[in-house]
DNA sequence: AAGAACTCCTGTTGGC
DNA sequence: TGCCAACAGGAGTTCT
């Protein structure tokens, strides 16, 4: 699934065709994704105008003219595709949507009043959609205990130290925990820790000193988290298997990975003779160089 | 109550 | 070629 940079790329792709546009028809093709769709999902979305398309961490938030917000999460394999008016019927074979295999996991289709069709496809169905009153979005179950946005001005070494102080979990798990910093996932945690030369197995608590103030490690890490996310957004995200921007474009940040997916390959740090290794932490792959990450 | 393990689901890949 | 295990951008739930 998409991490923050991929979700932001999707948002930027959808915004021009969805923001300010009315949903003329909504097709919901199954009762649930990861969770059941909210009651009367079609009735509550059809006919509404999307007044704003925003993002919080890895979630998309479409505010509707009804006063409700459509909250969407892409899980691991969720994807949106945009088809412009007349596109799919003009030359059918050219479009994957006419291929039964490709459409097998098309779970929701938004028909927009401008003739555009936006389809949500998700083979693994770890994604979900929900509707909540727009003025209660911040307190809803998805966001109530969620941490700060890493690209906002709240992210600082002091914040990270305050959150990490006294924790016995490792760096990797700490940074993946959305209750602290929201939006990082497996790829960008690996990449940020590599850039900060921090061993993913190191205790999160070592980001703070005994007084709970940031250590040099925290000072080093914070700007690098921002950098890696900003660079990834500028590259249109990372394309591995499932992910594409809504307009079908491929991101290219994967070419800039220093460690992710590079097990057995040489470390890219100048002068380092180390090799990228893969270990399992919390059931997920971690890629790092034990020679330069301490 | 923090932290780790288990779970959901389908598709792809690599080794034999 | 087939078969099977391992793995995949996440995170809620359930254990210890």
CB A249 within 7 Å, strand B: no
Instruction: Say yes or no: do domains A4-139 and A157-288 share a fold.
Output: no
Distances in Å between the Cα of A110 and the Cα atoms of A106, A133, A150 are: 11, 20, 30
pLDDT of residue A89: 56
Nearest residue to B11 via alpha carbon and C1': A123
What pLDDT, in 10s, does the model give residues A34-62? 999 999 999 999 999 999 999 999 999 99
Q: How many Å does it take to go from CA A128 to C1' B13?
A: 27
CA distance A291 to A84: 50
CA distance A292 to A276: 10
CB A173 within 7 Å, strand B: yes
Residue with tokens 């649930």: A32
CA distance A77 to A101: 15
Q: How many Å does it take to go from CA A116 to C1' B5?
A: 44
Count of CA atoms in the C-beta half-sphere (13 A) of A105? 16
CA distance A68 to A103: 29
Residue with tokens 């479009």: A95
Distances in Å between the Cα of A135 and the Cα atoms of A24, A52, A66, A73, A132 are: 24, 13, 12, 19, 8
Within A156-228, strands assigned E span: none
Instruction: Label residue A127 by pLDDT band (50, 70, 90).
Output: very high
Q: List chain C nucleotides near protein: any atom < 7 Å from a Cβ.
A: 7-12
pLDDT of residue A94: 46
Among A5-19, A83-97, A221-235, A273-287, name the one with the lowest average pLDDT: A83-97
What pLDDT, in 10s, does the model give residues A131-158? 999 999 999 999 999 999 999 999 999 9
pLDDT of residue A272: 95
Residue with tokens 């459409």: A103
Burial A126-147 (b: 16+ CB within 10 A, else e): ebbbbbbebeebeeeebbeebb
Measuring from the CA of residue A173 to each C1' atom, give the nucleotide at the shortest distance.
B3
Instruction: Label residue A114 by pLDDT band (50, 70, 90).
Output: very high
Percent of chain A with pLDDT over 70: 94
- Residues 113-142 (A) near nucleic chain B, CB < 7 A: 123-126
Q: Whole-model pTM?
A: 0.95
Mean pLDDT of chain A: 93
CA distance A15 to A133: 21
pLDDT of residue A93: 46
- What are the φ and ψ backbone dihedral angles of A85, each rounded to 5 degrees? -55, 130
Q: How many Å does it take to go from CA A180 to C1' B2?
A: 14
Instruction: Label residue A88 by pLDDT band (50, 70, 90).
Output: low
Class of the domain covering A157-288: mainly alpha
CA distance A227 to A240: 20
What pLDDT, in 10s, does the model give residues A73-86? 999 999 999 999 87
pLDDT of residue A17: 96
pLDDT of residue A242: 54
Q: What does the pLDDT average to over A20-42?
A: 98
Nearest residue to B12 via alpha carbon and C1': A241
Protein residues closer than 7 Å by CB to strand C: A 1-3, 6, 34, 57-58, 73, 75-76, 124, 126, 142, 176, 178, 185-187, 237-243, 280, 283-285
Instruction: Label residue A244 by pLDDT band (50, 70, 90).
Output: low
Strand partners, A28: A108
The SS3 assignment for A75 reads coil
Termini Cα distance of chain A: 28
CA distance A157 to A271: 28
Q: How many Å does it take to go from CA A284 to C1' B4?
A: 13
Domain ranges in chain A are 4-139, 157-288
Q: How many Å does it take to go from CA A242 to C1' B10?
A: 12
What pLDDT, in 10s, does the model give residues A91-113? 444 444 456 777 999 999 999 99
- Taking alpha carbons only, the member of A83, A92, A70 closest to residue A115 is A83
Q: Which residues of A are annotated as catalytic?
A: 2-3, 58, 284
CATH tag, A4-139: 3.20.190.10
- What are the φ and ψ backbone dihedral angles of A135, each rounded to 5 degrees? -80, 0
Q: Which residue has the higher pLDDT, A240 or A241?
A: A240
Q: What does the pLDDT average to over A237-264?
A: 85
Let me know: does A131 contact A70? Beta carbons within 8 Å: yes
Measuring from the CA of residue A105 to each C1' atom, give the nucleotide at the shortest distance.
B10
Strand partners, A132: A69
Let me know: does A131 contact A69? Beta carbons within 8 Å: yes
Nearest residue to B13 via alpha carbon and C1': A241
Let me know: does A198 contact A175? Beta carbons within 8 Å: no
């Amino acid at each position: 699934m998409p991490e923050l940079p991929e979700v932001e790329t999707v948002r930027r792709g959808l915004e021009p065709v969805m923001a300010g546009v009315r949903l003329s028809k909504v097709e919901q093709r199954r009762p649930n994704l990861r969770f059941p769709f909210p009651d009367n999902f079609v009735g509550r979305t059809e006919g509404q105008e999307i007044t704003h398309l925003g993002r919080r961490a890895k979630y998309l938030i479409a505010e509707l003219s009804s006063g409700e917000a459509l909250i969407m999460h892409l899980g691991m394999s969720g994807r949106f595709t945009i088809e412009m008016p007349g596109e799919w019927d003009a030359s059918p074979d050219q479009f994957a949507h006419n291929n039964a295999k490709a459409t097998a996991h098309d779970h929701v289709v938004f028909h927009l009043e401008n003739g555009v069709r936006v389809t949500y496809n998700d083979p693994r169905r770890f994604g979900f959609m929900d509707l909540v009153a727009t003025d209660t979005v911040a307190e809803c179950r998805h966001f109530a205990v969620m941490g700060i946005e890493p690209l906002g001005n709240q992210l600082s070494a002091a914040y990270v130290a305050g959150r990490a102080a006294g924790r016995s979990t490792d760096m990797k798990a700490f940074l993946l925990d959305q209750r602290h910093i929201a939006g990082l996932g497996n790829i960008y945690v690996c990449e940020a820790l590599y850039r900060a030369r921090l061993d993913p197995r190191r205790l999160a608590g070592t980001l703070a000193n005994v007084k709970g103030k940031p250590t040099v490690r925290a000072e080093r890490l914070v700007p690098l988290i921002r950098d890696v996310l900003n660079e990834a957004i500028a590259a249109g995200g990372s394309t591995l298997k499932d992910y594409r921007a809504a307009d079908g474009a491929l991101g290219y940040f994967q070419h800039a990975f220093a460690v992710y997916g590079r097990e057995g390959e040489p470390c890219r740090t100048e002068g380092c003779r180390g090799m990228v290794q893969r270990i399992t932490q919390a059931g997920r792959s971690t890629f790092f160089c034990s020679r330069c990450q301490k």
